[in-house]
Chain A
Amino acid sequence: MLSHAELVAEIPRLRRYARALAGDRTRADDLVQDTLQRALERAGQWQGGNARAWLFTVMHRIWLNQVRRPAIEQDEGEDGLPDSPISPLQDRWGDRRDLEQALALLPDTQREVLLLVALEEFHYDEAAEVLGIPVGTVMSRLFRAREQLRRLLGGEPLPQPALKRVK
């Protein structure tokens, strides 16, 4: 059973992720509030272990049910970069708004995995657990997210990947 103190200790991390995921402060805190309530209701289901990963899992399910658009409309397939050309927003990192805009342009499935790994620094298998997907899918979505973000933010146009992806 998670204690009140343990739960409160995770709130800043949950807020940071929700903020980057939802792109809006109020929606993000709504998501966190629902997550905390759900976590308390389901505290009995928590088996012990990684409390943070469990809380993020709870949040992800709420996000899926309440907020996120259906994945079917946005997932462009497991391999390759999106077909449609994307114009870079700006050729520099500096402006935080550019980053937030670029994040908002990523498909939700890509944004989720990128934020869990690059911002929240979850291990790949933890991210897979949170999202309820195989580790291989985490890796491929992560790769697409990074390359798409690079284009959006005006990085060098990519040559065709020279590397063979190992599944």
Chain B
Amino acid sequence: MSQQDTPISTDELQAWVDHQTDADASARIATIVARDAVLAARASAWASQRNALHAAFDATLDEPIPQRLLDAARPPRPRWPLQLAAALACVALGGVLGYALPRPAATPAAGDPLAGLPRAAAIAHAVYVPEVRHPVEVGAEQQTHLVAWLSKRLGSPLTVPELGASGFMLVGGRLLPGSEGGAVAQFMYQNEAGQRLTLYVRHNAASPETAFRFAAEKDLSVFYWVDGGMGYALSAKLPREALLQIAELVYRQLQRGGAPG
């Protein structure tokens, strides 16, 4: 065939196949391709390739997006040094919690060893819950190791409650310094919506067992109690009633898990 019969370049042929030509050019190229079997075969093969690529990979578009990618798309929180963050959290929460913590009947008297529990738990919650990359030191996939390690450091056998019934799954845990020099364990849970709650566990040998007590700071709710010489505080940005149900779930399992036998 003569050059005159095929006055189009490979670039033009590609643009035509890729729908990147304007209407006039499309019409002209279509006419030429229609008369030329070689061009037609090539254009058809290229179009088939495109269809095959879509057939092979478009399913990815409909897959649920993995949680780790959703997390990665979340803007990072400002990364303060932890001590500064903790200090700021102290100022922010301490002031308000001091008032918001149950002043009425349930308020622990000054000097009550339970007094600092919800505040310390709320601060630890505020510091670690926003962490995207390192919310915990040991992840849930190493749960046996996590429990053994924290039990050893606290000097008491710990139980990690299973909260699947409430939609929260264990993320993992970390060791924290307690206010009186003792070790504290923090377990973190997360639900499918990415909401997190923490269970703060420390020794409270000096306190008698208590019923649930409730404290709140803005939208952060804290249920705390003492059982078997251990102080527990469950913190989450959940309504009081919703958190109470989870607290009961925790309490029942700790009783069972902690029972001698």
Contacts and interface: CB of A to CB of B under 8 A. Distances in A.
B45 A11 contact: no
Interface string B93-109: 00000000000000000
A40 B65 CA distance: 18
Interface of A: 4, 7-8, 11-13, 15-16, 19-20, 29, 32-33, 36-37, 40-41, 43, 93, 96, 99-100, 114-115, 117-119, 121, 123-124, 139, 142-143, 146, 149-150, 153, 155-156, 159, 161-166
Contact of B56 (A100, A143, A153): A100
B52 interface: yes
Nearest to A145: B49
Q: Interface residues of A: mostly helix, strand, loop or mixed? A: helix
Interface stretch (B6-14, B154-162, B220-228, B235-243): B6-14
Given A19-B57, A99-B56, A119-B54, A165 B75 contact: no
Contact of A142 (B14, B55, B68): B14
B75 A149 contact: no
Contacts of A150: 45-46, 49
Contacts of B12: 166
Given A20-B57, A156-B41, A11 B9 contact: no
Contact of A4 (B10, B61, B63, B73): B73
B72 A12 contact: no
Interface of B: 1, 3, 6, 8-15, 18, 20, 38, 41, 45-46, 48-50, 52-58, 60-63, 65-66, 68-70, 72-76
Contacts of B60: 12, 15-16, 19
A139 B14 contact: yes
A165 B10 CA distance: 6
Contacts of B70: 8, 11
B9 A164 contact: yes
Contacts of B58: 16
A164 to B, nearest CB: 7
Contacts of B3: 164
Nearest 10 interchain pairs by C-beta: A166-B9, A36-B72, A16-B60, A118-B50, A7-B73, A119-B53, A12-B61, A33-B72, A96-B56, A36-B73
27 contacts: A8-B73, A11-B69, A12-B65, A16-B58, A36-B69, A37-B72, A40-B73, A40-B76, A93-B48, A99-B52, A114-B53, A117-B18, A118-B53, A119-B53, A121-B18, A124-B20, A139-B11, A146-B45, A153-B49, A156-B41, A163-B6, A164-B9, A165-B10, A165-B11, A166-B9, A166-B10, A166-B12
